[in-house]
Amino acid sequence: MESAAALAENIQSFLAEQGEKSMLRFITCGSVDDGKSTLIGRLLYESKRIFDDQMKMLETDSKLYGTQGEKIDFALLVDGLQAEREQGITIDVAYRFFATDARRFIVADTPGHEQYTRNMATGASTASLAIILVDARKGMLTQTKRHSRIVSMMGIRHIVLAINKMDLLDYKPDAFHAIEAEYRQFAQAHCQFKTIQAIPVSALEGDYVVQASPRMPWYNGPSLLAYLEAIDVSSSLRDQPFRMSVQWVNRPNLDFRGFCGRIASGLLQPGDPVRILPSGKESRVREIIGGQGALAFAEAGHSVTLTLADELDISRGDLIVSAAQPAQVADQFEARLLWMSDTPLLPGRPYIVKLHHKEMTATVTGIKYLEDINTGAHLAAKTLHLNEIAVVNLSFSQPVAFEPYSVNQALGAFILIDKLSFETLGAGMIEFALRRASNIHWQALEINKRARALPKHQQPKCIWFTGLSGSGKSTIANLLEKRLHAEGKHTYILDGDNIRHGLNRDLGFTEADRVENIRRVAEVARLMVDAGLIVIVAFISPYQRERQLARELFEEGEFIEVFVDTPLEECERRDVKGLYAKARRGELKNFTGIDSDYEPPEAPDVHIANMNSTLDDCVSQVLDFLS
C-alpha cells in the first residue's frame, strides 16, 4: 500500500503532466446493479491514460488498472470493483482520476443502495455532470428519480442518461426510446437540468462507452466518452461580484495579518474596495498573495491570502466581498433540505450548521412541505426521515453572509450536524432569506437585566429540574420556592403540567412535540430571567439536546440543571396519577420511561438522589449550590 505522501505526489505528478487540459468532475449514480462499476471499469480500461485514486483500495486497484492502459483481463478488473463493495468501501465516495487527449476527469463512484444516499449527495456536491444509469430491462426506478432530484438539488445541470445492458435486449431500440421519453417528462416537471443526453450502452461489452457500435445502427449520437470530452460545463462565476469566505487568519507576527481562502466568485485586484460581512466594515486590498508570491489579480477558483489596508476584526467564516456589490446577510432562511440520517429531524431541536466556513447553531422552525419522490407532490410533514427531501424554514443563532445556492453553490450550501454525536444529518441549499429576517430587529431597551434585578437584591437564575414522572421534581421545586420566598427572593415556577393547560395546550407527547414543548418553556424562562426573577422549571425534559438548547439561552452561571435521580421502579410505586399503569397497559403512548426514552444528564450542576434523602436535604443541596 502506498503511503499518503506517495499517493499525493503521484496525483500531483499526473495532474502536472496533463498541462492545461480542462477538468470535468462527474458522478455516476443509479439503482443497485444498474452497472455503475462495470461502466467505470470500461471507461478506465479503454482510456489512453489512467490514474486511479481508489482511496482505501489503492494497492489492489493499481494492480488491476495499470498506468498506461496495458492489456488487462477485463473480467478481472470488474471483479476488483465488485470486491470493493464486498469489503464495505461503499460507505465512502471513491474518486477516480483519468485522462484522454482532450480532457482530464475526476469521477465520483457512489453506491446505489438507498442507505448510502448521503454518499451520493457528497459526490454530487462537487460535480458538474451526472451519469444516471438505468437498466434497460427495469426502466426508471424510485432510486432513479431520487438521485435525479438530488443532483438537481445539488446544482448539477448536465445529465447523461446512460441506458445500460442493451445487450440483454438484443440491442433493440424500443426500451431505450420509452425510457428516454419517460425520463425527459419526469425531469422537465421536477428537475432543473440544462442538458440531457440519452445514450444506449452495454458497459460489459463496451458498446457506445468509448466508441460507436455497429450493433445499434438506429442510434446516431455520440459515445459516452466522446460526449464527456466535448460537453461545455463552464460557469460564469468569474463574472459575478467578488466573494471570498475566510478559511484561516494567518498572523505569524505583529507585522503581518493575512486572510486565507478560496475565491468563490468574481475578480480581485490590489486596491479594490471590499466589505467584511456580517460586520459591514470596509477597507481596500493591499496585496494578493498566491503560492508563488504577490499576484496582479485573482479570480474565482483561486486560493489566495489577502492583506488589507486597515486593521479590522475578521474571523474564520466572515465573507470578504465587493464593497459596491455586497452579499446578503440574514439569520432566517427558506431552504431545501435532504435528510441523511436514521435519526429523524425534529423542528425546534438545535443542530450545528456549517455554511461555507461559518459554524453556529441552527433550528428548523417549520417544515413547509415534504416532496414526494415519485410524483413531486407537496406533502404535509412534522418530521423528516432518511432520504426525504423537504422545503423548510431555518433559523440561525446569528446573522451570516450568504448567497442563494442557485447563484453561488459555495456560499449557499450547508450541512446540519448533531450536537452530541457530531454525525452529519442533512445537506441543505439556501433558496432565499425570509423577509422577517431583515424586517425584524432587536429593539434597544434602556432598562437591562441587571437594573431589573437590583431592586430585588438577587442574581437572576433559571433552576431547571429534570427527571422521570414521579421522581419528585415538582414537590422539591415547590419547597424550594417556599424557602426562597421566605428569604425575600422574587421567584416563579414553570411546571410541566400547568404549562400544558395554556401556553403548550396544542402540543402532544410525540418526540417532535416534546422538543417544541421544551423550546417554548426555555424561551419563557429566558424572558423571566431577563426580568430579574429566579425562575424554577420543573419538566421531565427527557432529551439532552433540548436541555443543552435551554442552557445556551442563558449567560454563564445563570442556568442550573438539577437532576432528580429516582429509579423507575420507585417512580412507578409513587404513581399517584396512575399514568405508569396506563402506559404499561398500552393505554398511554409515548410515556417517558416506558415506551419513550429518558436521557439522564451526564454532568448536572446538582445531582439529587432522593431515594435516601429527605425533602429538606434535597432542597438544601440546591440552596448550597446557589450560595
Domain boundary at 296, 322, 348, which? 322
Asked whether residue 442 is assigned to any structural domain, the reply reads no
| CA proximity to 148, closest of 161, 166, 135 | 161
Place of cell 503511503: 3
**pLDDT of amino acid 38:** 86
Which of 166-170, 265-269, 607-611 is the least confident region?
Answer: 607-611
Cis amide bond preceding 278, omega within 30 = yes
Model pLDDT for residues 469-512, shown as the tens digit of each residue? 989 999 999 999 999 999 999 999 998 888 888 888 888 888 88
**pLDDT of amino acid 333:** 94
Q: Compute the distance between CA of residue 156 and CA of residue 352 in angstroms, rounded to an integer.
A: 26
Shared-domain flag, residues 459 and 599: yes
Residue 75 has pLDDT above 50, yes or no: no
Domain boundary at 415, 436, 457, which? 436
Q: Compute the distance between CA of residue 325 and CA of residue 241 in angstroms, rounded to an integer.
A: 6
> Stretch 550-570: mean pLDDT, rounded?
92
Task: Give the pTM.
Answer: 0.69
Model pLDDT for residues 404-415, shown as the tens digit of each residue? 988 898 899 899
Residue 64 has pLDDT above 80, yes or no: no
**pLDDT of amino acid 301:** 85
Shared-domain flag, residues 309 and 342: no
Distances (CA, A) of 440 to 273, 331, 332, 434: 29, 11, 11, 10
Type of residue found at 529: V
What percent of the chain has pLDDT above 90? 48
Per-residue pLDDT band for 30 (boundaries 50, 70, 90) equals confident
Q: Compute the distance between CA of residue 357 and CA of residue 318 in angstroms, rounded to an integer.
A: 8
CB atoms within 10 A of CB 407: 17
Exposed, middle or buried, 268 (CB in 10 Å: 0-12/13-18/19+)? buried
Asked whether residue 493 is assigned to any structural domain, the reply reads yes
**pLDDT of amino acid 18:** 55
Shared-domain flag, residues 112 and 209: yes
Per-residue pLDDT band for 36 (boundaries 50, 70, 90) equals confident
Residue 438 has pLDDT above 60, yes or no: no
Q: Compute the distance between CA of residue 82 and CA of residue 592 in angstroms, rounded to an integer.
A: 46
| CA proximity to 3, closest of 52, 49, 59 | 59
> Stretch 58-64: mean pLDDT, rounded?
34
Residue 176 has pLDDT above 90, yes or no: yes
**pLDDT of amino acid 581:** 86
C-alpha cell at 145: 428519480
We report the CATH number of the domain holding residue 278 as: 2.40.30.10
Per-residue pLDDT band for 307 (boundaries 50, 70, 90) equals very high
**pLDDT of amino acid 74:** 33
Helix (H, G, I), strand (E, B) or coil at 307: strand
Asked whether residue 443 is assigned to any structural domain, the reply reads no
Per-residue pLDDT band for 12 (boundaries 50, 70, 90) equals low
Helix (H, G, I), strand (E, B) or coil at 466: strand
Residue 461 has pLDDT above 90, yes or no: yes
Per-residue pLDDT band for 99 (boundaries 50, 70, 90) equals confident
Domain boundary at 302, 322, 342, which? 322
Shared-domain flag, residues 154 and 225: yes
Model pLDDT for residues 572-588, shown as the tens digit of each residue? 888 877 888 888 888 88
Mean per-residue pLDDT of the chain: 84
Asked whether residue 459 is assigned to any structural domain, the reply reads yes
Per the DSSP assignment, residues forming a β-bridge with 366 are 393
Shared-domain flag, residues 418 and 482: no
Shared-domain flag, residues 72 and 207: yes
Q: How many domains does the chain have?
A: 4
Element holding 163 (H helix, E strand): strand 158-164
Shared-domain flag, residues 272 and 405: no
Q: Determine the straight-line distance between the first and last CA of the chain, rounded to whole angstroms.
A: 62
| CA proximity to 536, closest of 623, 617, 485, 462 | 462
| CA proximity to 394, closest of 351, 451, 344 | 351
Q: Compute the distance between CA of residue 425 and CA of residue 410 in angstroms, rounded to an integer.
A: 19
Q: Compute the distance between CA of residue 522 and CA of residue 554 in angstroms, rounded to an integer.
A: 9
> Stretch 591-595: mean pLDDT, rounded?
87
Shared-domain flag, residues 526 and 561: yes
C-alpha cell at 274: 471590499
Is residue 197 within 8 Å of 226, Cβ to Cβ? Answer: no
E-state strands within 380-436: 389-402, 413-417, 424-433
Q: Which residues contact 489 (CB under 8 A, 6 or more apart)?
A: 456, 458, 534
| CA proximity to 162, closest of 101, 109, 117, 225 | 225
> Stretch 403-431: mean pLDDT, rounded?
90
Shared-domain flag, residues 521 and 536: yes
Question: Active-site residue numbers?
Answer: 541
Residue 4 has pLDDT above 60, yes or no: no
**pLDDT of amino acid 358:** 92
Q: Compute the distance between CA of residue 264 and CA of residue 240 in angstroms, rounded to an integer.
A: 9
Asked whether residue 441 is assigned to any structural domain, the reply reads no
Distances (CA, A) of 568 to 128, 466, 491, 576: 56, 14, 30, 14
Is residue 514 within 8 Å of 451, Cβ to Cβ? Answer: no
Per-residue pLDDT band for 402 (boundaries 50, 70, 90) equals very high
**pLDDT of amino acid 10:** 59
C-alpha cell at 268: 480581485
Asked whether residue 216 is assigned to any structural domain, the reply reads yes
Model pLDDT for residues 515-545, shown as the tens digit of each residue? 888 889 999 999 999 999 999 999 999 888 8
C-alpha cell at 47: 482510456
Shared-domain flag, residues 397 and 275: no
Main-chain dihedrals φ then ψ at residue 208, nearest 5 degrees? 60, 20
512 versus 119: the higher-pLDDT residue is 512
Asked whether residue 369 is assigned to any structural domain, the reply reads yes
Asked whether residue 553 is assigned to any structural domain, the reply reads yes
Shared-domain flag, residues 289 and 414: no
E-state strands within 340-423: 350-355, 358-371, 378-379, 389-402, 413-417
Per-residue pLDDT band for 42 (boundaries 50, 70, 90) equals confident
| CA proximity to 119, closest of 24, 29, 38 | 29
Q: Which residues contact 547 (CB under 8 A, 6 or more apart)?
A: 464, 466, 518, 541, 561, 601
We report the CATH number of the domain holding residue 115 as: 3.40.50.300
Is residue 384 within 8 Å of 346, Cβ to Cβ? Answer: no
- Residue 287's domain comprises 237-322
Shared-domain flag, residues 479 and 426: no
Q: In this structure, what DSSP letter does residue 93 have?
A: P
> Stretch 307-324: mean pLDDT, rounded?
93
Q: Compute the distance between CA of residue 509 and CA of residue 511 in angstroms, rounded to an integer.
A: 6
